[in-house]
Amino acid sequence: MLKHPDLRMRRLREKAPVRDMVRETRISAANFIYPMFVTCGENIREEIEPMPGCFHTSIDRLSEEIDEVVELGIPSVLLFGLPPEKDAVGSGAYDPEGIIQEATRTIKEMAPGLMVIGDVCLCEYTDHGHCGVINGEKIDNDVTLELLARSALTQVQAGADMVAPSSMMDGQVRAIRETLDAHGYEDTPIMGYAAKYASSFYGPFRVAADSTPQFGDRRSYQMDPANRRMAMREIESDIAEGADIVMVKPAMAYMDVIKEARDRYDYPLAAYNVSGEYSMVKAASRAGWIDEQPVTMELLTAIRRSGADIIISYHAKEVARWLRGEA
Ligand code: PBG
């Protein structure tokens, strides 16, 4: 390798157009999926306290945000639902007239070109807050599979372009794939939350989705944050079950996992920049301790640099604006 004075790394940093020319990682609105919280009731548009800039929105007011998302060039939204009632088996998740199903119909009517992704899980719909059906204090994996498959099917029947199972039940991708195929939806893709960790960074989301487990925690189904090799096995199993896109979640504290998944698998890779990651940036910037725009861009660029093709982020709308040069 050349050395100074023959080597001058700074030559490529001197002028902005040169820096721009040699930039290895770029982000654009097209890389983003914007998560939204759709709530039952009418005329609701309430900011979620721990997630400034994110809202609980009722179906009749969805157009306000959907118009914005479309105008900003964000290709896709990921829907979470807050149902009117919860029960032990999460009936609201697979009700053909459920909150997500209705919201999907409304959005597809409003903006047919916007890709709607349904999050498939029971935790927002169960009174105990777990992601599956319980049997005593145990989460019953195989009984849950059928309910997840019904949730996905009703979402797709309502017009969802893609489904994203996030409950971390073993076999969830396969169960959904089989059910979709059996009903003629063999062309609908599945984005598997393949390596989803039992993370404390989900705290603000659980306030937003009212999905905090009423007993215990999610460590019997979500991954131990200490494990990297196991994440590769999770991704491998999602691929084997038929996932079209795989995911690592959260993103910021797991970039080594993203990097390794990128190196190992030739599948499109999504990273979920989760609620706690978003809230930390918002809180510190509100306190005047960090500058939100450059810090956010740096973090999201790092997620892309580590290997993610797709970023699911609550910052998506702001990023799209910043990329256009708006404040
Ligand atoms: C549902 C689900 C969760 C998130 C996405 N889907 C919560 C959880 O697993 O507790 C978290 C998203 C975020 O924190 O932004 N299972």
Ligand 1 near 121 CB (within 6 A): yes
Task: Give nearest CA residue, ligand 1 atom 11.
Answer: 202
pLDDT score, position 269:
98
Ligand 1 near 166 CB (within 6 A): yes
**202 alpha carbon to ligand 1 midpoint, in Å?**
6
pLDDT score, position 327:
81
φ/ψ (deg, to 5) at 134: -105, 150
Q: Containing H/E element for 310?
A: strand 310-313
pLDDT score, position 157:
98
Residue 159 near residue 108 (C-beta atoms within 8 A): yes
Task: Give nearest CA residue, ligand 1 atom 14.
Answer: 202
Ligand 1 atom, smallest distance to 211 CA: 10
Ligand 1 near 144 CB (within 6 A): no
Ligand 1 atom, smallest distance to 167 CA: 16
Say how far apart CA 220 and CA 144 lie, in whole Å. Answer: 14
**249 alpha carbon to ligand 1 midpoint, in Å?**
9
**175 alpha carbon to ligand 1 midpoint, in Å?**
21
Q: Within a 10 A sphere around the Cβ of 316, how many other Cβ atoms?
A: 25
**201 alpha carbon to ligand 1 midpoint, in Å?**
9
Ligand 1 near 314 CB (within 6 A): no
Ligand 1 near 239 CB (within 6 A): no
* CA–centroid distance for 9 within its chain: 38
User: Could you read off the pLDDT tens digit of each residue along the chain, which spans 327 residues?
Assistant: 999 999 999 999 999 999 999 999 999 999 999 999 999 999 999 999 999 999 999 999 999 999 999 999 999 999 999 999 999 999 999 999 999 999 999 999 999 999 999 999 999 999 999 999 999 989 999 999 999 999 999 999 999 999 999 999 999 999 999 999 999 999 999 999 999 999 999 999 999 998 999 999 999 999 999 999 999 999 999 999 999 999 999 999 999 999 999 999 999 999 999 999 999 999 999 999 999 999 999 999 999 999 999 999 999 999 999 999 998
Question: What are the CB-based long-range contacts (under 8 Å, 24+) for 6-11?
Answer: none
**154 alpha carbon to ligand 1 midpoint, in Å?**
21
**17 alpha carbon to ligand 1 midpoint, in Å?**
40
Out of 34, 51, 121, mutate this one to test ligand 1's pocket (max ligand atoms within 8 Å of CB): namely 121
Ligand 1 near 274 CB (within 6 A): yes
Ligand 1 atom, smallest distance to 119 CA: 6
Say how far apart CA 68 and CA 61 lie, in whole Å. Answer: 12
Ligand 1 near 249 CB (within 6 A): no
Ligand 1 near 206 CB (within 6 A): yes
Ligand 1 near 123 CB (within 6 A): yes
Contacts of 208 (CB under 8 A, 6+ apart): 37, 48, 50, 51, 54, 56, 80, 275
CA angle at 252 for the pair 239 and 103, rounded to the nearest 5°: 65
pTM for the predicted model, two decimal places = 0.97
Residue 306 near residue 255 (C-beta atoms within 8 A): yes
